[in-house]
Amino acid sequence: MSLNLHDSPWREEIGRLDQIILEMFPETEQRRVEWLNITGLVLPHPIPTYLIPSNAEEISERLQKLQKLLIDMGFLYLARQLTIFGRSFIELRIIPDFLVKKSRETSKERWMKFGLFVATLLSLLWVGWLNGQMYAKITGKMDTLNLVVLSLSYAVGLLLAVGVHEMGHMLLALRHGHPPNYPIFIPLPFGFGTLGAVIMQKEPFKDRNELFDISISGPLLGLIPSVIFTIIGLFLSPSIDKSLLPSPPLGTWEFLQQYQIPLFEGFSRIIKPDLSASETILLHPLALAGYIGLLVTALNLVPVGQLDGGHVARSLVKTEQQHRFITYMAALILIFLGFWFFAIIILYLYMRTGHPGPLDDVTKLTPTRQVIGALVVGLWFLLLPIPTGVLNQLSLLLQ
Ligand SMILES: [Zn+2]
């Protein structure tokens, strides 16, 4: 065993930590100091590394205790499971937290994000106006007040669905001790009026539980306004004769005719049970916002790379290889459903960075989180946009 820290500017603190670690993990077989070589983390000094003959089950509880201790002292740890000559080891590395903690958002960044938020609100109002016009024309209420209400229903509905999703990520990140980091909204003056929003996670996730919490909270919270607006919107939507719809369908309607979301279909069948074969539901802009909110949730939950669903998958599976396999399978499902462009972009991003995993990649998810994770996989299939013909054939088969 050897530990030589004469190069390190934090050798005194690490000396103290060394004692604590040897007391907590008396079975430690090797202590050394080495340069870190993990994707996404390049540190300017060699760091202490411990090799502990153990496995995840035996060590998880002690690691969680160590995490609390280290945080108070301004340190973090990295943990990976290794197999050397058939024996299980935990490789534990101690790093000063300032090396991975990033500076807080500058006010310039915040203003830029606010500007994009306003631009997104405007583009949503514009797209809401276009959709509202078509809706108003068919229902015969073209007055300006009605158009403003329709446009606002769409814009505010969708902005809330996307905003609550991002707020979910932010709140859980704050709870886990990360500094506030606001989302970047992406405006789009056509299509749905936005490409959603993203939060650039600046600091690495401490462990699987944190990775799970921060990633899952967005889709789960965002689902609430989406479901509420779907239900209210469907009650507001009239049934009309199919011949009244513009042909060919315009904008959002073209997409709606191509894809059905099982959960949305379920709600429309419950709320509009006696629709005749020649009729269709003329979706109120609020119902449209609900539909797109569900779609955004489904696309975020795809277990690919570093999307929300990819993070959740990474926290559930054992190794990075398993995560890679799931990523490729999920991308195939996306391509099969016709979202090949989306699949290519996220695969490209994934191949550049992979998924480095949380700092502590050893501690298992708590059982409650594992159950929630399994339920979310089921939820994903309820939200997945399915080409229209396919869903109809499936429901015929089930009858
Ligand atoms: Zn998200």
Tell me the residue length of the chain.
Answer: 399
Q: Output the CA 222–ligand 1 centroid distance in Å.
A: 9
pLDDT for residue 5: 63
Whether residue 88 is found in the same domain as residue 144: no
Ligand 1 centre distance from Cα of residue 199 (Å): 8
Contacts (Cβ under 8 Å, ≥6 apart) of 138: 240, 244, 245, 282
**pLDDT tens profile 163-185:** 999 999 999 999 998 888 899 99
- What DSSP letter does each residue of 34-91 carry, written as one string? E---BTTB--SS-EEEEEEE--HHHHHHHHHHHHHHHHHHTEEEEEEEEEETTEEEEE
Closest CA to 310 of 300, 319, 318, 296: 300
CB atoms within 10 A of CB 156: 20
pLDDT for the residue 252? 67
Q: Distance, CA 198 to ligand 1 centroid (Å)?
A: 7
Q: Are 198 and 184 in contact (CB under 8 A)?
A: yes
C-alpha of residue 370 to centroid of ligand 1, in Å: 19
Residue 218 shares a structural domain with residue 276: yes
Give me ligand 1 centre to Cα 300, in Å: 6
Task: Using the mean position of ligand 1's atoms as its centre, give its distance from the Cα of residue 219 in Å.
Answer: 6
Q: What is the pLDDT of residues 336-388, one digit of tens each?
A: 888 889 899 989 988 887 888 898 998 889 999 999 999 998 898 899 998 88
Residue with tokens 């339920």: 375
Distance 261 CA to ligand 1 centre (A): 19
- For residues 51 and 153, membership in a common domain is answered with no
By the CB criterion, residues less than 5 angstroms from ion ligand 1 are 218, 300, 308
Gap between the Cα atoms of 35 and 285, Å rounded: 56
Sheet containing 87-96: which strands, arranged edge to edge?
Answer: 30-34, 47-53, 87-96, 75-84
What domain count does the chain have?
2
pLDDT per residue as tens digits for the range 260-289 = 899 999 999 999 998 888 888 899 999 999
Work out the burial of residue 59: count CB atoms within 10 Å of its CB; fewer than 13 is exposed, 13-18 middle, 19 or more buried: buried
- Residue 32 and residue 2 in contact, taking contact as beta carbons nearer than 8 Å: yes
Burial of 284 (0-12, 13-18, 19+ CB in 10 A): buried
Please indicate, yes or no, if residue 387 is contained in any of the structural domains.
Answer: yes
pLDDT confidence tier of residue 41, bands split at 50, 70 and 90: low
pLDDT at 43 over 90: no
Query: Which residues, in sequence order, are CB contacts of 82 under 8 Å at separation 6+?
Result: 51, 88, 89, 90, 91
Q: What is the pLDDT of residues 93-132, one digit of tens each?
A: 888 887 777 677 889 999 999 999 999 999 999 999 998 9
Predicted local confidence at residue 123, as pLDDT: 96
- 232 Cα to the center of ligand 1, angstroms: 24
Task: Give 303 Cα–ligand 1 centroid separation in angstroms.
Answer: 12
| The domain boundary residue, chosen from 99, 122, 152 | 99
Contact indicator for 51, 89 with CB cutoff of 8 Å: yes
Q: Is the pLDDT of residue 309 over 90?
A: yes
Nearest to residue 288, comparing CAs of 378, 191, 369, 210? 191
Cβ neighbors of 394 (< 8 A, separation 6 or more) are 386
User: How far is the centre of ligand 1, averaged over its atoms, from the C-alpha of 93 (Å)?
Assistant: 30
Judge whether 3 lies within some domain: no
Distance 348 CA to ligand 1 centre (A): 19
Over the chain, what is the mean pLDDT? 87
pLDDT digits (tens, 9 = 90+) for 239-253: 988 888 777 666 667
Which range has the worst mean pLDDT, 35-39, 107-111, 322-326?
35-39
Claim to verify: residue 195 and residue 344 sit in the same structural domain: yes
285 and 338 co-located in one domain: yes
The pLDDT value recorded for residue 28 is: 86
Residue 39 has pLDDT above 70, yes or no: no
* Percent of the chain residues topping a pLDDT of 70: 92
Say whether both 64 and 195 belong to one domain.
no
For residues 195 and 306, state if they share a domain. Answer: yes
The answer to whether residue 329 scores a pLDDT higher than 80 is yes
In a domain, 6, yes or no: no
pLDDT band for position 48 (cuts 50, 70, 90): confident
With contact defined as beta carbons under 8 Å apart, do 292 and 193 qualify?
A: no
Helix (H) or strand (E) holding 209: helix 208-236
**pTM for the structure as a whole:** 0.88
Please identify, among 70, 99, 128, the residue that sits at the C-terminal boundary of a domain: 99
**Rounded mean pLDDT, 43-51:** 78
2 lies in some domain: no
Q: Using CA of residue 174, residue 177, residue 182, residue 186, what is the dihedral sign?
A: negative
Domain of residue 25 covers: 11-99
